[in-house]
Amino acid sequence: MTVPAGADGTVPEFWRRLGLPGLVDVHVHFLPPRVLAAVWAFFERAEQNYGRPWPIHYRDTSDDERIDLLRGFGVRAFPALAYPHKPGMASFLNDWTLDLAARTPDCVPSATFFPEPEAGRYVRSALDRGARIAKAHLQVGGYDPNDPLLDPVWGALAEAGMPAVVHCGNGPRRGAHTGVEPMEAVLRRFPGLVLVVAHAGLPDYVAFAALADRWPLVHLDTTMVGTEFTEQMAPMPPGYRSRLADLADRVVLGTDFPNIPYPYRTQLEALAGLDLGDAWLRGVCWHNGIRLLGLGPDGSVRGAG
């Protein structure tokens, strides 16, 4: 295993100090080259889209190099979360991410979907092929999660107990169907859905923590939470750290690697800076992710579940 140089090379020190065998990161992106290029082109226009620059720290790397980076960090398991922005993409994305997972032992097989007539069919197919986590992006997709075309999808995920990482918060900009209410409406109809709220629902941190209070299968992922970059545009409100402590067993490490404007270590430092204790960090960075994804005790993907 090659340990990266610079700030990234210090990541193993973080989890070793906690007595962990590594990290489990539930919010990592790998996309087909043309799709990834389009995503990064969007971030190039971040000042126009979000009102501030968003330089991709890991832009000049290939898929293989990014996998090597994650391994060098000590990330024992990670998904390749993909998401469509229009109909007709999801099935292709599922084929691509499942193929990547099939040849990458530490990659958790993942699936995505879009409200279209065939969504239920290709999600069940992905489940049959070993998918263990799903991704949806309501802001980018611009769709209502309560679209009847998605009922077979939510039903299949709930039946399988498969977690769905959903970008449903209003940050970094509000979407037509973002916020707590649309996803809570889904949960009322599919109470068995294991929802992972991406970015902890920023900027509506408190509202999504309250959602987790009401629904015991709702988790929060830490993607970009607490970093200086995010605090400048969506600061955590006073008292929010105590809410993260209350939900200790349902907060999971997410980073958004590689689409982040800072080194990977920055996210870990932000979590440590919350001063919630080593036990909390061990749960967030390892134990909660192991349980959520059904991994082996050593973080292994193959043969777990």
- Dump pLDDT digits (tens) for 275-297: 999 999 999 999 999 999 999 99
Structural domain contains residue 299: no
Residue 227: inside a domain, yes or no? yes
Place of tokens 């958004």: 256
- Average pLDDT of span 242-247: 98
Beta strand pairing call for 23-24 and 107-108: unpaired
Domain housing 58: 6-293
Q: Establish if 298 belongs to a structural domain.
A: no
For range 230-248, the mean pLDDT? 96
Residue 300 within a domain:
no
pLDDT bin (cut points 50, 70, 90) of residue 48 is confident
Structural domain contains residue 17: yes
> Is position 257 within any domain?
yes
- Taking residues 180-200, report their average pLDDT: 98
pLDDT at 127: 98
**Domain count for the chain:** 1
- Whether residue 88 is contained in a domain is answered as yes
Per DSSP, helices labelled H in 161-262 are 180-189, 205-214, 228-231, 240-246
Provide the whole-model pTM.
0.96
pLDDT at site 304: 56
Comparing 37 with 99, the larger pLDDT belongs to 99
Residue 1 confidence (pLDDT) above 50: no
Residue 254: give its domain's CATH number: 3.20.20.140
Can you list the pairs that 5-12 forms with residues at least 24 positions away whose Cβ atoms lie under 8 Å? 6/263, 7/263, 7/265, 7/266, 8/69, 8/72, 8/73, 8/263, 8/264, 8/265, 9/72, 10/265, 11/72, 11/73, 11/74, 11/264, 11/265, 11/268, 12/73, 12/74
The 8 Å CB, 24+ separation contacts for 67-72 are 67/104, 67/107, 68/2, 69/4, 69/8, 69/258, 69/264, 70/25, 70/28, 70/106, 70/257, 71/1, 71/2, 71/106, 72/1, 72/2, 72/3, 72/4, 72/8, 72/9, 72/11
Determine, yes or no, domain membership for 262: yes
